[in-house]
Amino acid sequence: MLTLQYLLFEKPYSLSLKFGRHRQTWTRFRTLLATHAAPVFLKAVNEASVKPRILLMGLRRSGKSSIQKVVFHKMSPNETLFLESTNKICREDVSNSSFVNFQIWDFPGQIDFFDPTFDYEMIFRGTGALIFVIDSQDDYMEALARLHLTVTRAYKVNPDINFEIFIHKVDGLSDDHKIETQRDIHQRANDDLADAGLEKIHLSFYLTSIYDHSIFEAFSKVVQKLIPQLPTLENLLNIFISNSGIEKAFLFDVVSKIYIATDSTPVDMQTYELCCDMIDVVIDISCIYGLKDDGTGTPYDKESMAIIKLNNTTVLYLKEVTKFLALVCFVREESFERKGLIDYNFHCFRKAIQEVFEVRMKVVRSRKHQSHLQKNKRPTPNGTPRMPL
Ligand SMILES: Nc1nc2c(ncn2[C@@H]2O[C@H](COP(=O)(O)OP(=O)(O)OP(=O)(O)O)[C@@H](O)[C@H]2O)c(=O)[nH]1
């Protein structure tokens, strides 16, 4: 066992790992904190008081409200057939966990940028990501024109926005047709930007459908770009898996099934789907057998953990990390024989995650306190000092 100590904002930050295979991890861990943690926290401090905003835009009936309902409200995809058209901007706070914390604004399809009552400058100024939904089963020429108008307007106001294009409803397309549609939309959207001299704007494209996990995966990637602690989380996961004989690990927001971080090995869709299914199984079984007789208690708490053995010598291992986060790992059967080692390293990993969060909260609290003091220092309009609250 080796204990690592590093001073972070004058707070001793320690992580003890039992090293299964590699013994030089402490150097990597120290480098991680030095290179990532400090700048990441400073960014978090600056942004902590403002919740990043995600806008859902696109033509009428492209599927915006359905996406929001399926991802964040557990609505079944078939029920979205009965959703009514949105006729005003709907805002919603998503504050599931310490890291997933943002606002989603669902826009009506017919929004008009030239309408003087629509203050798009104010809206785009505080936006982290703009998701533009294109219905791939429909003729998308009008959608592309609207995309161009939206992106150019938004970029002028706020060049830091992430532009995320969901080529949606791909469940109705064959595999070849999907690839062809994505290529065509990608080409046309970028050509339009190049014609306007705006080739520096980067658009990210995703093929999505509410009828499979693609919408959760795409949303995970959108949200990850807004989490300032992402590099720290990824590096902690890398250290954890390499010392525990784990093949792949995801840090999940249990409520939305968005994965907020994973290690640096590539993600494949099937692995992600298995993890989502496992979370569903755990929560469903907990809801039946995990609550008290009078129905009180929560289906997900400190004790939550699950092991599922697949028939291909792989083991799925789920453990609670915080009130809203779960770690889901893929382990080979032979590596899972050293479960004690995995559990010990997991314990250290969880502690590290909690400390990352605590430091952030501490700084947020002190900032709030300082701004409160400053507010009270300012004289009142008639010149008398303010009473301390
Ligand atoms: N096949 C398929 N249909 C979808 C998908 N997502 C949404 N839909 C359907 O598309 C229709 C329109 O969905 P909405 O979510 O109401 O669309 P919207 O963009 O919010 O529409 P407005 O509120 O009018 O702007 C509904 O009938 C949904 O069931 C998808 O991934 N695949």
Measured in Å, residue 277 CA sits from the centre of ligand 1 at: 24
Strand order of the β-sheet with 246-253 is 258-262, 246-253, 325-332, 314-320, 305-309
Which H or E run includes 3? Answer: strand 2-8
Alpha-carbon distances of 316 from 213, 236, 246, 362, rounded to whole Å: 18, 19, 10, 35
Residue having the nearest C-alpha atom to atom 14 of ligand 1: 63
Per-residue pLDDT, 189? 95
Residue with tokens 């100590």: 5
pLDDT at 313 over 50: yes
pLDDT at 314 over 60: yes
Pairing of the two strands 127-135 and 162-168: parallel
Residues 105 and 32 sit within 8 Å (Cβ to Cβ): no
Average confidence (pLDDT) over 226-249: 91
Residues 205 and 183 sit within 8 Å (Cβ to Cβ): no
Residue having the nearest C-alpha atom to atom 5 of ligand 1: 169
Which tokens in the block code for residue 316? 């799925």
Residues 348 and 29 sit within 8 Å (Cβ to Cβ): no
Q: Which of 23-37, 172-186, 293-307, 314-328 has the lowest mean pLDDT?
A: 23-37
Ligand 1 contacts CB of residue 39 (under 6 A): no
**CA–CA gap between residue 145 and residue 150 (Å, rounded):** 9
Per-residue pLDDT, 3? 26
Which H or E run includes 270? Answer: helix 269-285
Average confidence (pLDDT) over 168-194: 93
Give the amino acid at 172: G
Per-residue pLDDT, 332? 93
* More confident: 98 or 261: 261
**CA–CA gap between residue 32 and residue 369 (Å, rounded):** 30
pLDDT at 91 over 90: no
Residue having the nearest C-alpha atom to atom 10 of ligand 1: 63
Ligand 1 contacts CB of residue 172 (under 6 A): yes
Ligand 1 contacts CB of residue 61 (under 6 A): yes
* More confident: 222 or 36: 222
Measured in Å, residue 149 CA sits from the centre of ligand 1 at: 22
Average confidence (pLDDT) over 129-134: 95
pLDDT tens, position by position, 112-121: 766 777 778 8
**CA–CA gap between residue 192 and residue 199 (Å, rounded):** 9
Q: Sorting pLDDT into bands at 50, 70 and 90, what band is 126?
A: confident
Average confidence (pLDDT) over 4-22: 33
Average confidence (pLDDT) over 187-197: 93
Alpha-carbon distances of 66 from 16, 80, 142, 192, rounded to whole Å: 45, 6, 21, 28
Mean pLDDT of the chain: 79
Per-residue pLDDT, 297? 74
Residue having the nearest C-alpha atom to atom 7 of ligand 1: 63
Per-residue pLDDT, 227? 83
Ligand 1 contacts CB of residue 386 (under 6 A): no
Per-residue pLDDT, 228? 82
Pairing of the two strands 90-94 and 162-168: unpaired
pLDDT at 47 over 70: no
Q: Sorting pLDDT into bands at 50, 70 and 90, what band is 11?
A: very low
* 3-state class percentages of the chain: helix first, strand second, coil last, to nearest 5: 45, 20, 35
Average confidence (pLDDT) over 89-106: 74
Residues 171 and 72 sit within 8 Å (Cβ to Cβ): no
Measured in Å, residue 65 CA sits from the centre of ligand 1 at: 7
**CA–CA gap between residue 95 and residue 229 (Å, rounded):** 16
**CA–CA gap between residue 113 and residue 318 (Å, rounded):** 46
Going by C-alpha positions, the residue among 246, 177, 190 that lies closest to residue 17 is: 246
Per-residue pLDDT, 291? 77
pLDDT at 253 over 80: yes
Ligand 1 contacts CB of residue 212 (under 6 A): no
Per-residue pLDDT, 296? 74
Ligand 1 contacts CB of residue 210 (under 6 A): yes
The percentage of residues in the chain with a pLDDT greater than 90, rounded to a whole number, is: 42
pLDDT at 107 over 70: yes
Q: Which of 49-53, 105-109, 166-170, 292-296 has the lowest mean pLDDT?
A: 49-53
Complex ipTM value: 0.98
Alpha-carbon distances of 283 from 40, 77, 247, rounded to whole Å: 33, 19, 24
Going by C-alpha positions, the residue among 226, 63, 232 that lies closest to residue 240 is: 232
Ligand 1 contacts CB of residue 52 (under 6 A): no
